[in-house]
Homo-oligomer: A and B are copies of this chain.
Amino acid sequence: MEATVLASAPARCPVTRRSLPLSQVYRLLEPGPVVLLTTAGPKRPDVMAMSWHTMMEFEPPLVGCVISGRSLTSSLLKEARECVINVPTVALARQVVGCGNVSGRRVDKFKAFGLTPVAASRVGAPLIEECHANLECRVADTSLVEAYDFFILEVVKAWVRPSRRRPRTIHHQGRGAFMVAGEVVRLRSGMK
């Protein structure tokens, strides 16, 4: 990656973050959290909020997601073909809504919302330091981008904060309402 893609000098991946086996990525995304998608850009990195995503394969993990063709993220992603899916918790709810309400064409969202870009290991887009998990991705398939703005991403490296066993992820319900992850129930299951 080029050093110029980050607005501020990126730190190395901090020790508070551990590598997550790629086979476990589905356990982060299946419950449907709002995520923050980061992309590198010629001037500065960008970030957008996203709820329209789904797992498509366990390993290597594939994630399908809808990214509006009008967004800056879409044009940066088509160019660089790399991004990071960051999973925030409720502590970042205000920033998530902020990222969803302005365009990176006008605003440096990292600065505006106090988010810290951290250098990723495999892609040019930055991790967001404040997020619970970070999934470094490469674009794997663009065959449905023209018809549906639907990108298929392959997760090539995953990070998670081991300190938070039950992250209070947020789940968009529309019109500024977010459901916060509640209790966990466990049932005997042969499912993965």
A: which residues have CB within 8 A of B?
24, 26-27, 30-33, 49, 51-57, 62, 64-66, 90, 93-94, 97, 100-101, 141, 143-144, 147-148, 150, 152, 168, 170-192
Establish whether residues A179 and B182, one from each chain, have CB atoms under 8 Å apart when the complex forms.
yes
CA distance A174 to B59 in the complex (A): 14
A36 to chain B, nearest CB (A): 14
A40 to chain B, nearest CB (A): 24
Chain B hits for A180, CB < 8 A: 182-185
This protein's copies in its complex: 2
Establish whether residues A56 and B148, one from each chain, have CB atoms under 8 Å apart when the complex forms.
yes
Chain B hits for A177, CB < 8 A: 184-186
Establish whether residues B56 and A173, one from each chain, have CB atoms under 8 Å apart when the complex forms.
no
Establish whether residues A190 and B31, one from each chain, have CB atoms under 8 Å apart when the complex forms.
no
CA distance A189 to B64 in the complex (A): 25
A169 to chain B, nearest CB (A): 8
Chain B hits for A152, CB < 8 A: 148
Chain B hits for A101, CB < 8 A: 189-191
Establish whether residues A187 and B176, one from each chain, have CB atoms under 8 Å apart when the complex forms.
yes
CA distance A176 to B192 in the complex (A): 8
A177 to chain B, nearest CB (A): 5
- Given known A93-B187, A182-B183, contact A171–B66 (CB-CB < 8 A): no
Chain B hits for A55, CB < 8 A: 51-52, 66
Establish whether residues A100 and B189, one from each chain, have CB atoms under 8 Å apart when the complex forms.
yes
CA distance A90 to B182 in the complex (A): 12
- Given known A143-B143, A175-B189, contact A54–B54 (CB-CB < 8 A): yes
Establish whether residues A90 and B185, one from each chain, have CB atoms under 8 Å apart when the complex forms.
yes
Chain B hits for A57, CB < 8 A: 148
Chain B hits for A97, CB < 8 A: 187-189, 191
Chain B hits for A181, CB < 8 A: 171, 179, 181-182
